[in-house]
């Protein structure tokens, strides 16, 4: 049975990885097209609009698509109840659309000339993204991972083609940028739609149940802060640097954050796959498998983080050259912050599994408060490095809270985790203060750090290798 779980987790991780990396490559190719077609002010403005849209999307319909996903994984619910959750989420989304449309109509008179069109397009995009998320979570929760992956690739390809037409060839500027995203989201909905339950607009609201509504919102509302965690933390840190250090330092920080974001992508891909297995493991009371995956994840994330930290100078100078070249010194600290962020994210799955999502919201709020306090203390003392310290403390506080709050679900190896964190901290300090990169020296430090952690986790590593060998035997022999 365990080999079957490992096989399922492996296959889902590969599929989600193909979809996510393929999509991100296509989107990355759009950057030179946007920069060649838009002025700096247009690009800055539309980037702000899209960020606001991304923040408003989970708030708009109270993250009900997360509740739909969880219900699809529940082995105790029959298909009728799972579909009722889907219909209820549609009802909430439609009510939200009416509410926000009325707010827009009332507030339209106070908007600057020309802004009403952008705001209207933004509202349409928020609504469509909620429908897309709702359809996507239903499809993913029901195991249609191939359709889900193809949807990501086709949607990104559509965005690329339409953006080239509207923004590059037809010079539609900000409106073309937003319309291209809207068009790609519509295509996504059309791809995902056939795999969702059939419903009619005229009969949707006949299914409303107050008890089911309360249950759904009790689960979904605490997940809103977690859904916008990146914008919460990144926003407060960026504003802190902007006001305390200056615009150029803020640009340096933004450029340096590109490399650490690789870890975030890997974590996101694995989390998508792990969510599908975690509920099953919990329902079968398989704490051993649950513990194995969490600790195995820590080892893999540590290895990637340590490697990138030790070689952040040469890698960073490739990613951020020119006037941003000195920004490589910020990368080690940001990589360590992303290590904590990744661990906090994977621990956040525990709340989804147990349906006790209030702890998810509380831990995110705690991390945000710690980050703000850290900024007020360390920014004046250490300037831009103070922001990195604050970010690390914020994510670390989330990890500590989530480990303590969900300790009954898995066994975290505290000593081993402390050793891993200590190795990363020492590596971060060494590399940040290194004047000249030395391949032999840095490789030696990487090897020493890996040896310490491998010795600390040797029992877990043996178990992981046994699972991998068993999986390979089942698959190829």
Report whether pLDDT(202) > 70: no
Grade residue 204 by pLDDT with cuts at 50, 70 and 90: low
Cβ(336)–Cβ(385) below 8 Å: no
CA distances to 100, 117, 121, 398 from 107, in Å:
10, 13, 15, 38
Check whether 99 has a pLDDT greater than 80.
Answer: yes
> Whose structure tokens read 């490992």?
6
Q: Is residue 83's pLDDT more than 80?
A: yes
Give the mean pLDDT of 412-428: 91
Query: Collapsing DSSP states into helix, strand and coil, what is residue 115?
Result: helix
Q: What is the greatest pairwise CA distance in the chain? A: 70
Of residues 47 and 154, more confidence is placed in: 154
pLDDT at residue 364 greater than cutoff 70: yes
Residue 215's alpha-carbon distances to 206, 210, 353, in angstroms, are: 18, 9, 15
Residue among 64, 352, 333 nearest 215 (CA): 64
Would you state the pLDDT for residue 234?
Answer: 83
Among 183-197, 200-214, 241-255, 333-347, which stretch is predicted with the lowest mean pLDDT? Answer: 200-214
Do residues 73 and 141 touch, judged by C-beta distance below 8 A? yes
Hey, is 412 helix, strand or coil? Answer: coil
What does the block give as tokens for 337? Answer: 């912050």
Rounded to 5°, angle at Cα 282 from 280 and 287: 120
CB 81 within 8 A of CB 71: yes
**pLDDT at residue 197 tops 80:** yes
What per-residue string of b and e applies to 259-270 under the rule 16 or more CB within 10 Å gives b? bbeebeebbebb
End-to-end CA distance of the chain: 17
Query: Is the Cβ–Cβ distance between 199 and 90 less than 8 Å?
Result: yes
Distances (CA, A) of 23 to 159, 166, 261, 394, 441: 10, 19, 15, 30, 37
Q: How far apart are CA 142 and CA 431, in angstroms?
A: 45
Band (208; pLDDT cuts 50, 70, 90): low
Q: Which of 2-6, 44-48, 50-54, 203-207 has the largest mean confidence?
A: 50-54
100-118 residue pLDDT tens: 888 877 776 777 766 778 8
pLDDT value of position 8: 84
The two counts, helices (H) then strands (E), for the chain are: 20, 0
Alpha carbons within 13 A on the beta-carbon side of 281: 27
Distance CA 183, CA 319 (A): 31
**Residues 371, 367: Cα–Cα separation, whole Å:** 6
Contact yes or no for 274/393 (Cβ under 8 A): no
- The fraction of the chain above a pLDDT of 90, given in percent, is 45
Structure confidence at residue 397 (pLDDT): 97
DSSP 420: H
**Residue 224: pLDDT over 70:** yes
CB-side neighbour CA atoms (13 Å) of 353: 25
Q: Once rounded to an integer, what is the mean pLDDT over residues 153-173?
A: 94
Q: Are 77 and 67 in contact (CB under 8 A)?
A: no
Q: How far is residue 252 CA from its own chain's centroid?
A: 23
**pLDDT score at 371:** 96
Query: Model confidence at 470, in pLDDT bands (50, 70, 90)?
Result: low
pLDDT of 228-254, one tens digit each?
887 888 888 988 988 888 878 887 887
What the block records as the tokens of 118 is: 């952008």
Structure-token pair, residue 69: 């996903």
**Of 11-15, 190-194, 228-232, 258-262, minimum mean pLDDT range:** 258-262
| Mean pLDDT to the nearest integer, 409-431 | 90
pLDDT band of residue 206 (cuts 50, 70, 90) is low
Average per-residue pLDDT for the chain: 87
Residues shown for the chain: 477
**Structure confidence at residue 145 (pLDDT):** 93
Binning pLDDT at 50, 70 and 90, where does residue 396 land?
very high
Q: Give the model's pLDDT for residue 70.
A: 94
Give pLDDT, residue 191. 97
Q: Is the dihedral of CA 342, 343, 348, 349 positive or negative?
A: positive
User: What pLDDT does residue 2 have?
Assistant: 58
The whole-number pLDDT of residue 23 equals 82
53-57, 105-109, 320-324: segment of lowest average pLDDT: 320-324
- The answer on pLDDT for 320 being more than 70 is no
């Amino acid at each position: 049975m365990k080999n079957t779980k490992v096989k399922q987790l492996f296959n889902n991780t590969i599929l989600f990885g193909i979809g996510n990396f393929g999509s991100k490559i296509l989107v990355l190719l759009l950057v030179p097209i946007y920069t060649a077609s838009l002025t700096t002010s247009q690009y800055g403005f539309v980037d702000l609009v899209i960020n606001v849209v991304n923040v408003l999307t989970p708030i708009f319909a109270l993250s009900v698509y997360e509740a739909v996903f969880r219900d699809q994984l529940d082995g105790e619910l029959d298909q009728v109840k799972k579909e009722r959750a889907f219909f209820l989420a549609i009802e909430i989304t439609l009510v939200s659309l009416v509410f926000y449309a009325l707010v827009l109509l009332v507030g339209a008179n106070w908007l600057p000339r020309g802004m009403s069109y952008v705001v209207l397009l933004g509202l349409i995009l928020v609504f469509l993204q909620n429908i897309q998320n709702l359809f996507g979570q239903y499809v993913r929760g029901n195991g249609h991972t191939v359709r889900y992956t193809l949807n990501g690739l086709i949607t990104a390809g559509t965005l690329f083609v339409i953006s080239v037409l509207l923004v590059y060839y037809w010079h539609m500027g900000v409106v073309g940028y937003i319309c291209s995203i809207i068009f790609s989201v519509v295509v996504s909905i059309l791809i995902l739609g056939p795999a969702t339950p059939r419903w009619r607009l005229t009969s949707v609201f006949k299914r409303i149940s107050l008890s089911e509504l309360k249950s759904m919102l009790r689960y979904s509302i605490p997940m809103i802060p977690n859904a916008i965690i990146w914008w919460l933390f990144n926003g407060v840190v960026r504003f802190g640097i902007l006001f305390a250090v200056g615009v150029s330092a803020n640009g340096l920080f933004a450029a340096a954050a590109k490399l650490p974001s690789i870890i975030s992508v890997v974590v996101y891909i694995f989390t998508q796959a792990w969510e599908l297995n975690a509920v099953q493991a919990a329902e079968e009371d398989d704490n051993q498998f649950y513990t194995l995956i969490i600790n195995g994840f820590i080892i893999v994330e540590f290895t990637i983080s340590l490697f990138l930290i030790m070689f952040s100078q040469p890698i960073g100078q490739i990613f951020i050259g020119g006037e941003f070249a000195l920004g490589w010194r910020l990368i080690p600290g940001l990589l360590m912050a992303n290590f904590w962020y990744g661990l906090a994210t994977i621990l956040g799955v525990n709340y989804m599994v147990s349906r006790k999502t209030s702890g998810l919201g509380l831990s995110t709020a705690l991390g945000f408060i710690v980050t703000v306090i850290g900024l007020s203390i360390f920014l004046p003392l250490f300037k831009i490095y103070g922001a990195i310290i604050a970010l690390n403390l914020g994510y670390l506080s989330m990890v500590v809270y989530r480990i303590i709050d969900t300790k009954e679900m898995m066994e975290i190896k505290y000593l081993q985790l402390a050793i891993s964190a200590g190795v990363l901290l020492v590596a971060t300090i060494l590399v940040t203060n290194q004047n000249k990169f030395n391949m032999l020296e840095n490789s030696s430090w990487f090897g020493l750090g890996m040896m310490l952690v491998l010795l600390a986790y040797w029992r877990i590593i043996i178990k992981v290798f046994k699972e991998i060998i068993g999986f390979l035997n089942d698959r190829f022999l």
